[in-house]
């Protein structure tokens, strides 16, 4: 494995971590707001709060890790993406900031107005939409070069069906991942009411997810045939992913093991996410930027890898401790421990 | 929007984001250490007041951390969005500390989450205290690594520049640059000092407003003592920074001191104004600049005449320098008077007017942080990478920076109002008297249960 491939694999892995954790978080916020709208707020809020409290900050760091890492390993991405993405990323950042700070304001500061719950729920949908635009742009055709400077063509971007398929997929995935995870979580919390509601959401959101995923494959065929062909050659990864998806649905429908259902979902997305990533190879921004042309110098690459390995040495035990104390602690989940800040 | 306007708005937006971020970042670096010390003292002295101090600070800290995290994420991405050319170059040479910073941030975030939700989980308070060590270390190391990046921009090295191309990059050498030791030390020192004085302001304010509880008196003495230590350390480190500038970055010192002509026995100018290149109303201390720069009254200090016109930083940084140093000195005196006054039972330190000075001290220290950063950053102009890349060549060519400026200005306004409202409500609504009563009830209840 070359350092380029190692670099992008590591970054893709952390982005995947962010996608899963952030999906749970964004979806939870949305379900909470939706619950308030339909007068079922009390059912969901305690389960959601118990999950979110100790991890919301960590979720954010996965994103930071990704964008700092990509500049480190592939400095030229700063030039191409930095110049062209000013507006969509800035909007994403503003939403992310409102979300993050109001979470803290309401949780620790007792700012309990309804409007914030709605705002919080809505930003959770707009953020994946604004961030997933980066994926659309990476397919090429939306950035053109003017005097060697990259410029984003907004009109082409917003009128492309590919853009909207990716946006729909990101929204459906967020709500589906979140609902499946929280179903498992509510089941362990012995919270029957929350569990029933979340199980319904999980089953509901699996449908648009499937449709959107299929739609993207069709769109890509027209938009970027080279990428489409790569995608087809990795058919087994997507096929396996689909099987796992069916497995999750079956387990939840028949009320069997929710833990197992979530892990099937985890690997389903893992396969799809990495299948997509691998088929994108070797481009970071089609056709201007490949991972080879943009890779950093040898000595920086080696020092980044060393720091990464050392960093993981501290990170993995710390994350394990966090999970053990909260996510995998039955007493905590069931609210039997007084853990007030 | 032309290129020049893009540069201008990029500068304004970066300055706005950083100026806002450093308020929360400074608090974020300093407070965990204060919490750590307070909880440790509480355990050691078996004094519940200090434990409660740590707990109440932690609650407020959770709010400031949230704003610090989101604005930190913003500046992290804005660097690439607004200065893509610089980050392309910087990514080749200085990505290592940036990457290390995210690990420090990770550790801080994980352990803060654990610390916040395990207050009543461990029987042994010491185990809970241990969780705070990685929080404080993570916070301080974030500051160390990010300051290393800034130090590189001031004194770049660790690479060869051949015909516009970067060659022979040495990432480790690029981290340990000449300005790094003084900068890192000064940033940490001022963060601890500012955090201590901010907490002292709160305690003094509570004492002025009705509550005359022993808890606030302990808090005040405790924070003023820590503040005194760090303000003295900061002053010393500031002197080292001045000497570094005189040796390696003389144009910044010369612009900050309005030292126009190279010469020995250079006087130090304090305050004053400048008009058409003529200094007015300044207090002149003979030989002081030479002493400050090289420890000798006769030493030669490089003046602005040694530099081409287009490499001289703006002269208004002199005001920043004066304000920063004045506030720093004021805080040393104020905390020294208070700590000695309490020990020797001087009456005036208990008076209302003196407490009002202490209340002012916290915000003033924060202002000094801002002045210091403006001095540092503007003093590096016209360079973004001193000697290698001009700021005007590094900015984005995007035409929408002005709109983004308005967008972010609105966001910071909302975050500022939100955080201040929440913080003040939090502590007004749940006073120390109330919390102590609640805790006693809880404890009696627990005793009754068992």
Q: Give the tens place of pLDDT for each residue, B55-108.
A: 889 888 988 988 998 898 999 889 888 888 888 888 888 888 988 888 888 888
Q: How confident is the model at residue B110 (pLDDT cuts 50, 70, 90)?
A: confident
Please report where in the chains the tokens 């409500």 appear, as a residue: B425
Q: Give residue B133's pLDDT.
A: 92
Q: Give residue B450's pLDDT.
A: 41
Alpha carbon A213 to its chain's center: 15
Cis previous bond, A282, omega within 30: yes
Nearest residue of chain B to residue A307 (CA atoms): B100
Please report where in the chains the tokens 């801002």 appear, as a residue: B370
Is pLDDT larger for residue B365 or for residue A115?
B365
- Give the whole-number percent of chain B exceeding pLDDT 90: 28
To the nearest whole Å, the CA of B367 is away from the closest chain A CA by 23
Is A85 near chain B, with CB under 8 Å? yes
Mean pLDDT of A272-299: 79
pLDDT at residue B256 tops 60: yes
Residue A203 CB partners (closer than 8 Å, separation 6+): A249, A252, A253
Six-digit token string for B266: 């250079």
Question: How many other C-beta atoms lie within 10 A of the C-beta of residue A204?
Answer: 12
Q: How confident is the model at residue A337 (pLDDT cuts 50, 70, 90)?
A: low
Question: How many other C-beta atoms lie within 10 A of the C-beta of residue B387?
Answer: 13
Nearest to B112 among A57, A71, A98 (CB): A57
Nearest to A86 among B102, B103, B396 (CB): B396
B80, A65: Cβ pair inside 8 Å? no
- Give the whole-number percent of chain A exceeding pLDDT 90: 0
Residue A325: DSSP 8-state: I
Interface probe for A, chosen from B59, B64, B110 (most Cβ of A below 10 Å), is: B110
Q: Give residue A340's pLDDT.
A: 55
- The per-residue pLDDT for range A78-108, each reduced to its tens digit, is 888 888 888 888 888 998 888 888 878 877 7
B80, A81: Cβ pair inside 8 Å? yes
Mean pLDDT of B12-34: 93
Six-digit token string for B44: 């050691």
DSSP string, A71-115: HHH-THHHHHHHHH-HHHHHHHHHHHHHHHHHHHHHHHH----HH
Is A193 near chain B, with CB under 8 Å? no
Nearest to B107 among A55, A308, A314 (CB): A314
Q: Give residue B345's pLDDT.
A: 82
Mean pLDDT of A168-173: 85
Is pLDDT larger for residue A191 or for residue A338?
A191
Handedness of CA B148, B149, B154, B157 (dihedral sign): positive
**Residue (of B185, B89, B150) closest to B379 by Cα position:** B150
Is A102 near chain B, with CB under 8 Å? yes
Is A83 near chain B, with CB under 8 Å? yes
Q: Give residue B397's pLDDT.
A: 73
Strands B268-270 and B283-285: antiparallel
Q: Report how far residue B319's alpha carbon sits from residue B183's, in angstroms, rounded to the nearest whole number.
A: 20
B169, A299: Cβ pair inside 8 Å? yes
- The per-residue pLDDT for range A199-254, each reduced to its tens digit, is 777 777 778 878 888 888 887 787 778 777 888 888 888 888 888 888 888 887 77
Question: How many other C-beta atoms lie within 10 A of the C-beta of residue A213?
Answer: 19
Residue B345 CB partners (closer than 8 Å, separation 6+): none
Q: Report how far residue A177's alpha carbon sits from residue A23's, in angstroms, rounded to the nearest whole number.
A: 6
To the nearest whole Å, the CA of B72 is away from the closest chain A CA by 9
pLDDT at residue B290 tops 50: yes
- Give the whole-number percent of chain B exceeding pLDDT 70: 97
Contact B135, B112 (CB under 8 A): yes
Contact B216, B206 (CB under 8 A): yes
Is A327 near chain B, with CB under 8 Å? no
Contact B104, A318 (CB under 8 A): no
Q: Which residues of B262-298 are buried (b: 16+ CB within 10 A; e: fewer)?
A: eeebbbbbbeeebeeeeeeebeeeebbbbbbbbeeee
Mean pLDDT of B99-119: 85
N-terminal to C-terminal alpha carbon distance within chain B: 73
B3-B4-B7-B11 Cα dihedral, nearest 10 degrees: -160
What burial class does residue B414 get, using C-beta atoms within 10 Å of its C-beta: 0-12 exposed, 13-18 middle, 19+ buried?
Answer: middle
Residue B263: DSSP 8-state: B
Contact A68, B103 (CB under 8 A): no
pLDDT at residue A339 tops 60: no
Is A335 near chain B, with CB under 8 Å? no
Question: Helix (H, G, I), strand (E, B), or coil: what is residue B209?
Answer: coil
Q: What is the mean pLDDT of chain B?
A: 86
Helices (H), B83-94: 84-93
Q: Report how far residue B402's alpha carbon sits from residue B116's, in angstroms, rounded to the nearest whole number.
A: 40
Question: How many other C-beta atoms lie within 10 A of the C-beta of residue B115?
Answer: 25
Q: Report how far residue B218's alpha carbon sits from residue B432's, in angstroms, rounded to the nearest whole number.
A: 13
To the nearest whole Å, the CA of B105 is away from the closest chain A CA by 7
Strands (E), B203-282: 268-270, 273-275, 278-280
Nearest residue of chain A to residue B411 (CA atoms): A94
Is pLDDT larger for residue A139 or for residue B364?
B364
Q: Residue A51: phi, psi to the nearest 5?
A: -75, -45
Mean pLDDT of A39-50: 73
The residues that bridge with B278 in the sheet, in sequence order, are: B275
Residue A165: DSSP 8-state: H
Residue B261: DSSP 8-state: S
Mean pLDDT of A293-299: 78
Question: How many other C-beta atoms lie within 10 A of the C-beta of residue B45?
Answer: 11
Q: Report how far residue A192's alpha carbon sits from residue A204's, in angstroms, rounded to the nearest whole number.
A: 18
Q: Give residue B193's pLDDT.
A: 95
Q: Report how far residue B12's alpha carbon sits from residue B14's, in angstroms, rounded to the nearest whole number.
A: 6
Q: Report how far residue A161's alpha carbon sits from residue A216's, in angstroms, rounded to the nearest whole number.
A: 9
Q: Give residue B1's pLDDT.
A: 53
Mean pLDDT of B248-261: 84
Q: Give residue B449's pLDDT.
A: 47
Is A221 near chain B, with CB under 8 Å? no
B91, A83: Cβ pair inside 8 Å? no
B73, A96: Cβ pair inside 8 Å? yes
Six-digit token string for B45: 């002295």
Q: Give residue B243's pLDDT.
A: 86
Q: Give residue B409's pLDDT.
A: 93
Q: How confident is the model at residue B411 (pLDDT cuts 50, 70, 90)?
A: very high
Highest mean pLDDT among A36-45, A149-158, B43-52, B157-166: B43-52
254-313 in chain A: CB under 8 A from chain B: 296-297, 299-300, 303-304, 307-308, 311
Q: Report how far residue A30's alpha carbon sits from residue A34's, in angstroms, rounded to the nearest whole number.
A: 6
Contact A11, A69 (CB under 8 A): yes
pLDDT at residue B414 tops 50: yes
Q: Which residues of A touch B134 (CB under 8 A)?
A: 318
Nearest residue of chain A to residue B427 (CA atoms): A109
Q: Element (H or E) spanning B383, and its range?
A: strand B383-385
Residue A53 CB partners (closer than 8 Å, separation 6+): A107, B113, B116, B117
Cis previous bond, B382, omega within 30: yes
Is pLDDT larger for residue A109 or for residue A72?
A72
Interface probe for A, chosen from B1, B54, B102 (most Cβ of A below 10 Å), is: B102
Q: Give residue A341's pLDDT.
A: 54
Mean pLDDT of A171-196: 80
Q: Give residue A307's pLDDT.
A: 84
Q: What is the mean pLDDT of chain A?
A: 80
Contact A47, A191 (CB under 8 A): yes
Q: Report how far residue A175's alpha carbon sits from residue A30's, in angstroms, rounded to the nearest whole number.
A: 8
A72, B98: Cβ pair inside 8 Å? yes
Is A148 near chain B, with CB under 8 Å? no
Contact B173, A303 (CB under 8 A): no
Q: How confident is the model at residue B446 (pLDDT cuts 50, 70, 90)?
A: low
- The per-residue pLDDT for range B304-341, each reduced to its tens digit, is 888 888 888 888 888 999 899 999 999 999 999 999 88
Residue B20 CB partners (closer than 8 Å, separation 6+): B71, B412, B415, B416
CA distances from B331 to A59, A129, B324 (A): 39, 49, 11
B106, A318: Cβ pair inside 8 Å? yes
Q: Report how far residue B219's alpha carbon sits from residue B241's, in angstroms, rounded to the nearest whole number.
A: 32
B88, A75: Cβ pair inside 8 Å? yes
Mean pLDDT of A161-182: 84
Cis previous bond, A287, omega within 30: yes
Q: Give residue B423's pLDDT.
A: 87
């Amino acid at each position: 494995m070359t350092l380029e491939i190692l670099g992008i694999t590591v970054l893709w892995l952390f982005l995947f971590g962010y996608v899963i954790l952030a999906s749970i978080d964004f979806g939870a916020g949305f379900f909470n707001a939706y619950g308030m709208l339909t007068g079922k707020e009390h059912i969901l809020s305690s389960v959601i709060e118990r999950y979110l409290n100790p991890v919301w900050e960590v979720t954010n760091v996965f994103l930071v890790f990704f964008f700092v890492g990509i500049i480190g390993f592939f400095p030229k991405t700063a030039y191409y993406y930095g110049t062209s993405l000013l507006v969509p990323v800035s909007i994403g950042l503003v939403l992310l900031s409102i979300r993050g700070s109001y979470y803290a304001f309401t949780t620790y500061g007792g700012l309990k107005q309804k409007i914030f719950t709605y705002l919080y729920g809505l930003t959770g949908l707009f953020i994946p939409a604004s961030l997933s635009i980066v994926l659309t742009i990476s397919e090429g055709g939306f950035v053109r070069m003017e005097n060697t400077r990259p410029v984003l063509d907004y009109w082409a971007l917003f009128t492309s069906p590919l853009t909207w398929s990716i946006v729909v997929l990101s929204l459906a995935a967020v709500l589906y991942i979140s609902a499946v995870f929280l179903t498992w979580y509510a089941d362990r919390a012995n919270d029957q009411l929350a569990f029933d509601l979340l199980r319904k959401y999980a089953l509901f959101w699996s449908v648009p997810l499937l449709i959107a995923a299929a739609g993207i494959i069709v769109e890509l065929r027209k938009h970027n045939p080279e990428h489409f062909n790569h995608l087809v050659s990795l058919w087994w990864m997507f096929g396996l992913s689909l099987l796992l998806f069916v497995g999750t649905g079956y387990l939840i429908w028949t009320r069997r093991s929710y833990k197992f259902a979530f892990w099937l979902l985890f690997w389903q997305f893992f396969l799809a996410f990495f299948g997509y990533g691998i088929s994108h190879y070797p481009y970071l921004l089609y056709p201007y930027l490949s991972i080879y042309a943009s890779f950093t110098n040898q000595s920086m690459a080696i020092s980044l890898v060393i720091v990464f390995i050392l960093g993981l040495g501290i990170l993995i035990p710390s994350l394990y401790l966090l999970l053990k104390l909260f996510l995998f602690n039955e007493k905590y989940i069931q609210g039997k421990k007084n853990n007030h800040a | 929007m032309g290129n020049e306007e893009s540069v201008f708005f990029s500068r304004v937006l970066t300055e706005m984001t950083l100026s806002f971020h450093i308020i929360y970042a400074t608090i974020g670096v300093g407070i965990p250490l204060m919490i750590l010390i307070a909880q440790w003292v509480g355990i050691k002295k078996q004094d519940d007041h200090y434990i409660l101090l740590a707990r109440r600070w932690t609650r407020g800290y959770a709010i400031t951390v949230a704003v610090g995290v989101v604005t930190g994420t913003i500046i992290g991405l804005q660097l690439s969005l607004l200065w893509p050319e610089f980050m392309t170059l910087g990514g080749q040479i200085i990505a290592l500390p940036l990457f290390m910073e995210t690990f420090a941030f990770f550790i801080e975030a994980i352990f803060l989450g654990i610390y916040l939700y395990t207050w009543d989980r461990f029987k042994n308070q010491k185990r809970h205290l241990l969780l705070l060590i990685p929080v404080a270390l993570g916070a301080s190391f974030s500051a160390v690594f990010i300051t290393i990046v800034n130090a590189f921009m001031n004194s770049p090295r660790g690479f060869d520049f051949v015909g516009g191309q970067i060659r022979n990059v040495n990432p480790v050498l690029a981290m340990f640059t000449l300005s790094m030791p003084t900068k890192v030390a000064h940033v940490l020192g001022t963060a601890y000092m500012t955090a201590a004085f901010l907490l002292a302001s709160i305690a003094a304010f509570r004492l002025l407003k009705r509550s005359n509880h022993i808890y606030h008196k302990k808090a005040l003495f405790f924070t003023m003592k820590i503040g005194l230590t760090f303000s003295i350390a900061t002053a010393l480190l500031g002197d080292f920074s001045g000497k570094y500038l005189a040796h390696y970055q003389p144009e910044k010192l010369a612009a900050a001191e309005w030292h126009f002509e190279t010469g020995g026995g250079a006087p130090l100018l304090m305050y004053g104004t400048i008009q058409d290149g003529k200094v007015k109303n300044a207090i002149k201390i003979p030989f002081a600049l030479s002493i400050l720069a090289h420890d000798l009254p006769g030493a030669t200090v490089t003046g602005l005449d040694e530099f081409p016109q287009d490499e001289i930083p703006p002269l208004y940084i002199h005001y920043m320098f004066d304000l920063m140093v004045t506030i720093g000195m004021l805080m040393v005196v104020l905390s020294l008077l208070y700590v000695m006054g309490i020990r020797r039972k001087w009456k005036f330190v208990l008076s209302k007017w003196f407490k009002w000075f202490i209340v002012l001290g916290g915000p003033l220290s924060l202002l000094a942080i801002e002045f210091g950063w403006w001095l540092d950053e503007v003093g590096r102009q016209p360079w973004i990478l001193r000697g290698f890349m001009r700021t005007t060549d590094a900015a984005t060519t995007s035409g929408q920076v002005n709109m983004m400026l308005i967008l972010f200005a609105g966001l910071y306004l909302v975050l500022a109002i939100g955080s201040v409202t929440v913080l003040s409500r939090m502590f007004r609504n749940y006073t120390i008297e109330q919390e102590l009563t609640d805790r006693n009830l809880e404890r009696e209840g627990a005793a009754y249960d068992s």
